[in-house]
């Protein structure tokens, strides 16, 4: 159902089990292969399809509103940082797409401790906001005047 | 793997700041908290799935729906955004919280750019492109994975596949959070987290209302199935106050595929019509005039408030002119246009692209149906529902400052993202910004006011939770041999099992969804309710809670996860119904109409409605708080 695993292709690596946000993909210790154990909770995010190195996971879209016959193929290349899609219509039309997924190498993002330490724990400025370019303003914006009022007397 | 539910292992984790839920807000909170903590405090993240693809953005997203605010005259300013959000909610908004998010957006977008998110740029100016006034277009298939990376690097510890179920309240200090308890969904270990500050950044709730889809299609709710309302379940159970929970979100989406309509309306400037070809978006003057009579000045707000646009689609559907139809073919002129539209959906909601392919709908040739969704409970989109949070020290009026920024009404318990209410339209990027705000605020708290705090949680309490957490599995094991229904593999729910002594998660969930749909203004009730229906909903939800307490069953750890997700949905549903019972007007007409009080009542109801569940007795109470504005 929604996503499923071809038994001839699954090698039981568990990558789909590891990535599924819904805890749907489960490992069957008897067959040593993965399966979608909870199809009604499947949002068709296709992460299991994207992360399967054997292309063993596929989608047969929701039976209650999807006519059969459409196919979707996807390769998420984390070296070139491009995701390739092939969408086949029920009428046979094929559309191919190649879309960037990231502009920097995986593993290169700076964590909190890679940013210079600051002492102003008391200020409202967050990390990087001591730099006006990051803040977008010369100083942290505050309302021009703080005149509080109740009731609906304001302009839309 | 499984676990012996009668004797599960226990692991205790002590930390300074515990972040619950590793979505957009949680990642922002971890990053910012660690930035200020350095070696002075520990930051721990607990997440029920895999950080790389968890949360509402786990399947990708095609825009940072809140973008930069800068000095550049062309860019938006925080005041302007406050006015926009205020119109969206017909005035019921915390202006201090909304303003606060806006002023931290530029640094958030620049961090995303630095980390590697492919934001579209204007080749001439180098500025990030916008699809509308607030949002930047992105290639966002890996949006969550990119944000997860600096989060993982920043956290002292990350516990994945551990679901937080109950808040732990301090036993020496009243109304003080001490941590949370939960369990590992793969190995079954019980986790006890103790912390000086807890930031709840969990998700809002799908599958509280019966979806329009049936059978396996119920997974295709617009808001993902794993959004189990833990943002509210966890915090309500701690005794924190929630606000405007009545305003469940209904959005207009492509019918069945639930692909968002941001690109079609904003980027491509498409129009939508009824089935006879009459244009309803942009809203025609005569409809606006009618709304002006019903809802006053809000009808004249530009852009037209989501509430009224959704109401228009619902009225067309109910009065036989529906479904509304997006006239895609009028605007898709080039191959590039078509590619952009398909990419948009493949990157964030692939089912929409598959639906077009399956039904032979070529959007450059023929239009597509739209539909109002089932209601969702969440706080980051076009709804003000969520938890009641203390405001920024330099902007908030004194009435909204009882503690550090983003602390809820329980000492030491913070929120961000979907958790925090009456500050919506933050979406993914605003949730990161708000997570960062809460992160810094919590650090200041644990290094000053809570410096010497030590959680007091007795062994008895932990033992009591240990018994409670695994009771559905134990109950299943004790009762299982009673019937002849054949067993299925452990991880799979036995849809066919009828048992007199227990209900599985799906049976419980279906009762909740049906009750909410029919009695509390779901789609099958035409988004209309009345006091009789709400009182019945309340009665039926109480019975459902009793049935849950006595008889929830779980055959596996997977089902145990689903059972507790259901429980967070149930507590949230109670907050929704209780809130609807007490707001005696119709403030959010596109989301629901109370037929006993169909008018917008500015004189009596231009106020926040807060609800609270007493953690000791389980009794609900409510109060109102004035809406204090500062933007003229």
The domain segmentation of chain A, as residue ranges, is: 3-100
Reported residue count of chain B is 632
Give B57 to chain A, closest Cα distance, Å: 10
Structure tokens at B31: 């990053």
Confidence of residue A90 (pLDDT cuts 50, 70, 90): very high
Cα radius of gyration rounded to whole Å, chain B = 23
Write out chain B residues lying below 8 Å of A23, CB-based. 48-49, 161, 185, 226, 558, 561
**SS3 of B272-329:** EECCCCCEEECCCHHHHHHHHHHHHHHHHCCCCCHHHHHHHHHHHHHCCCCCCEECHH
Q: What DSSP line would sit under B470-491, residue for residue?
A: HHHHHHHHHHGGGS-PPP--TT
Among B437, B517, B487, B458, CA closest to B207:
B517
Q: Which of residues 392-421 of B touch A (CB under 8 A)?
A: 392-395, 397
B4-24 mean pLDDT: 97
Write out chain A residues lying below 8 Å of B110, CB-based. 128, 133-134
Q: Do B628 and A134 touch (CB under 8 A)?
A: no
Position B278 scores a pLDDT of: 98
B558-575 mean pLDDT: 98
- CA B248/CA B285 separation, integer angstroms: 27
Please name the residue ranges forming H helices in B552-594: 557-582
Q: Is the dihedral of CA B101, B105, B108, B109 positive or negative?
A: positive
Structure tokens at A90: 């029920």
Region B468-603: CATH code: 1.20.58.100
**How many Cα atoms are found within 13 Å in the side-chain-facing hemisphere of A86?**
8
Question: Would you identify the CATH topology of the domain A3-100?
Answer: Alpha-Beta Plaits (3.30.70)
Among B261, B368, B264, CA closest to B306:
B261
Give B617 to chain A, closest Cα distance, Å: 33
Task: End-to-end CA distance of chain B: give it in Å, rounded.
Answer: 59
> For residue A1, is pLDDT > 70?
no
Position B491 scores a pLDDT of: 80
> What pLDDT digit, counting tens, does each position of B160-183 carry?
999 999 999 999 999 999 999 999
Q: Do A45 and B350 touch (CB under 8 A)?
A: yes
pTM attached to this predicted model: 0.98
Write out chain B residues lying below 8 Å of A44, CB-based. 219-220, 350-351, 354
Q: Which of residues 365-394 of B touch A (CB under 8 A)?
A: 392-394
Which residue is it, tokens 């302009």?
A: A155
CB pairs under 8 A between A and B: 310
- CA B470/CA B188 separation, integer angstroms: 9
Q: Do A64 and B359 touch (CB under 8 A)?
A: no
Q: Which of B86, B154, B606 sits opposite A151 (nearest CB)?
A: B606
Q: Do A89 and B117 touch (CB under 8 A)?
A: no
Element (H, E) at B508: helix B505-519
Which residue is it, tokens 């499923």?
A: A4
Q: Do A111 and B226 touch (CB under 8 A)?
A: no
A58 Cβ neighbours under 8 A, 6+ residues apart: A3, A4, A5, A6, A49
Nearest chain A Cα to B557, which residue? A23
Confirm or reject contact between B357 and chain A (CB < 8 A).
yes
- CA B438/CA B405 separation, integer angstroms: 7
> What pLDDT digit, counting tens, does each position of B224-233 carry?
999 999 999 9
- CA B5/CA B173 separation, integer angstroms: 32
Q: Which of A43, A61, A85 sits opposite B358 (nearest CB)?
A: A61
Burial of A91 (0-12, 13-18, 19+ CB in 10 A): exposed
B284-309 mean pLDDT: 96
B602-613 mean pLDDT: 98
Confidence of residue B487 (pLDDT cuts 50, 70, 90): confident
Q: Which of A45, A74, A138 sits opposite B59 (nearest CB)?
A: A45
B520-539 mean pLDDT: 98
Residue pair B103/A140 in contact by the 8 Å Cβ criterion: yes
Structure tokens at B219: 């997974």
Position B603 scores a pLDDT of: 97
A38-48 mean pLDDT: 95
Q: Into which CATH architecture does domain B252-372 fall?
A: Alpha-Beta Complex (3.90)
ipTM above 0.90, yes or no: yes
Residue pair B387/B229 in contact by the 8 Å Cβ criterion: no
Position B1 scores a pLDDT of: 55
Residues of chain B with CATH 3.90.700.10: 252-372
Q: Do B354 and A111 touch (CB under 8 A)?
A: no
| Integer CA distances (angstroms), B74 to B69, B77, B127, B134, B427, in order | 10, 9, 11, 11, 22
Query: What is the rounded (10 degree) CA torsion for A145, A148, A153, A156?
Result: 50
Confirm or reject contact between B91 and chain A (CB < 8 A).
yes
Residue pair B256/B220 in contact by the 8 Å Cβ criterion: yes
Q: Which of residues 498-557 of B touch A (CB under 8 A)?
A: 506
Confirm or reject contact between B625 and chain A (CB < 8 A).
no
Position B38 scores a pLDDT of: 98
Position B193 scores a pLDDT of: 98
Position B488 scores a pLDDT of: 86
Confidence of residue B495 (pLDDT cuts 50, 70, 90): confident
| Integer CA distances (angstroms), B224 to B54, B212, B581, in order | 10, 14, 27
Q: Do B34 and A111 touch (CB under 8 A)?
A: yes
> For residue B51, is pLDDT > 60?
yes
- CA B452/CA B28 separation, integer angstroms: 26
Q: Which of residues 56-75 of B touch A (CB under 8 A)?
A: 58-60, 68-71, 75
Mean pLDDT score of chain B, rounded to an integer?
97
Q: Do A26 and B149 touch (CB under 8 A)?
A: no
Confirm or reject contact between B253 and chain A (CB < 8 A).
no
Confirm or reject contact between B81 and chain A (CB < 8 A).
no
> For residue B219, is pLDDT > 90?
no
Q: Which of A88, A127, A155 sits opposite B357 (nearest CB)?
A: A88
Residues of chain B with CATH 1.20.58.100: 468-603
Confidence of residue B489 (pLDDT cuts 50, 70, 90): confident
- Buried-exposed string A38-61: b where 16+ CB fall within 10 A, e elsewhere: bbbbbbbbbbbbbbbeeebbbbeb
> For residue B340, is pLDDT > 80?
yes
Write out chain A residues lying below 8 Å of B58, CB-based. 21, 45, 47
Give A155 to chain B, closest Cα distance, Å: 7
């Amino acid at each position: 159902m929604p996503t499923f695993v071809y038994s001839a292709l699954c090698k039981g690596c568990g990558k789909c089990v590891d990535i599924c946000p819904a805890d749907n993909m489960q490992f069957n210790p008897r067959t040593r292969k993965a399966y979608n154990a909870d199809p009604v909770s499947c949002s068709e995010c296709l992460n299991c399809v994207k992360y399967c190195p054997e292309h063993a996971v596929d989608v047969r879209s929701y039976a209650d509103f999807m006519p059969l016959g459409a196919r979707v193929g996807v390769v998420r290349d984390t070296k070139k940082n491009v995701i390739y899609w092939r969408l086949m219509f029920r009428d046979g039309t094929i559309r191919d797409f190649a879309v960037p997924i990231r502009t920097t190498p995986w593993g290169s993002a700076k964590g909190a401790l890679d940013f210079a330490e600051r002492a102003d724990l008391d200020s409202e400025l967050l990390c990087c906001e001591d730099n006006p370019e990051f803040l977008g303003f010369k100083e942290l914006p505050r309302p021009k005047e703080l005149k509080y009022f109740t009731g609906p007397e304001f302009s839309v | 793997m499984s676990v012996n539910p009668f004797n599960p292992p226990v692991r205790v984790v002590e930390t300074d700041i515990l972040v619950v839920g590793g979505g957009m807000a949680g990642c922002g909170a971890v990053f910012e908290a660690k930035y200020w903590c350095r070696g002075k405090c520990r930051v721990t993240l607990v997440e029920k799935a895999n950080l790389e693809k968890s949360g509402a953005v786990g399947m990708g997203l095609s825009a940072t729906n809140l973008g930069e605010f800068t000095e550049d005259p062309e860019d938006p300013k925080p005041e302007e955004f406050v006015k926009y959000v205020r119109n969206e909610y017909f005035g019921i908004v915390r202006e201090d919280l909304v303003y606060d998010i806006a002023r931290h957006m530029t640094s958030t977008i620049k961090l995303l750019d630095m980390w590697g998110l492919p934001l579209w740029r204007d080749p001439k100016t180098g500025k990030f492109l916008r699809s509308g006034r607030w949002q930047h277009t992105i290639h966002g298939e890996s949006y969550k994975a990119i944000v997860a990376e600096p989060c993982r690097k920043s956290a002292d510890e990350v516990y994945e596949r551990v679901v937080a179920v109950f808040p732990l309240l301090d036993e020496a200090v009243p109304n003080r959070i001490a941590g949370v308890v939960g369990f590992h969904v793969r190995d079954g270990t019980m986790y006890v987290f103790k912390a000086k500050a807890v930031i709840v950044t969990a998700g809002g709730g799908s599958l509280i209302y019966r979806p329009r889809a049936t059978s396996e299609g119920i997974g295709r709710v617009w808001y993902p199935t794993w959004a189990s309302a833990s943002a509210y379940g966890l915090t309500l159970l701690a005794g924190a106050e929630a606000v405007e929970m009545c305003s469940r979100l209904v959005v207009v989406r492509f019918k069945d595929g639930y692909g968002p309509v941001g690109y079609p309306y904003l980027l491509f400037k498409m129009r939508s019509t009824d089935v006879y070809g009459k244009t309803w978006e942009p809203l025609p003057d005569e409809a606006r005039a009618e709304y002006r009579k019903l809802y006053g000045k809000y009808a004249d707000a530009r852009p037209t408030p989501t509430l009224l646009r959704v109401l228009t689609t619902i009225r067309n559907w109910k009065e036989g002119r529906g479904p509304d139809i997006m006239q895609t073919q009028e605007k898709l002129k080039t191959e590039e246009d078509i590619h952009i539209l398909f990419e948009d959906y493949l990157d964030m909601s692939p089912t929409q692209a598959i639906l077009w392919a399956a039904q032979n709908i070529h959007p450059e040739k023929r239009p597509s149906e739209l539909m109002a969704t089932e209601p969702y409970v969440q706080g980051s989109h076009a709804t003000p529902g969520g938890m009641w949070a203390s405001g920024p020290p330099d902007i908030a009026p004194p009435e909204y400052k009882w503690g550090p920024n983003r602390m809820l009404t329980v000492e030491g318990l913070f929120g961000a993202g979907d958790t925090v209410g009456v500050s919506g339209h933050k979406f993914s990027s605003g949730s990161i910004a708000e997570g960062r705000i809460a992160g810094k605020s919590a650090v200041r708290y644990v290094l000053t006011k809570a410096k010497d705090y030590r959680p007091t949680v007795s062994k008895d309490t932990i033992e009591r939770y240990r018994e409670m957490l695994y009771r559905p599995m134990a109950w299943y094991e004790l009762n299982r041999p009673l019937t002849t229904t054949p067993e299925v593999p452990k991880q799979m729910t036995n849809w066919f099992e009828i048992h007199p002594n227990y209900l599985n998660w799906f049976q419980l969930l279906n009762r909740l969804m049906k009750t909410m749909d029919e009695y509390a203004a779901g789609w099958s009730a035409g988004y209309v309710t009345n006091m009789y229906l709400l009182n019945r909903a309340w009665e039926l939800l109480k019975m459902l809670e009793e049935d849950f307490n006595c008889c929830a069953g779980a055959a596996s750890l997977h089902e145990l996860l689903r059972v507790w997700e259901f429980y967070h949905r149930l507590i949230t549903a109670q907050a929704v119904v209780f809130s609807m019972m007490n707001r005696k007007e119709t403030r959010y007409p596109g989301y629901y109409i109370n037929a006993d009080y169909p008018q917008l009542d500015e004189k009596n109801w231009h106020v926040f409605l807060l609800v609270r569940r007493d953690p000791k007795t389980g009794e609900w109470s409510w109060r109102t708080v004035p809406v204090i504005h500062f933007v003229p």
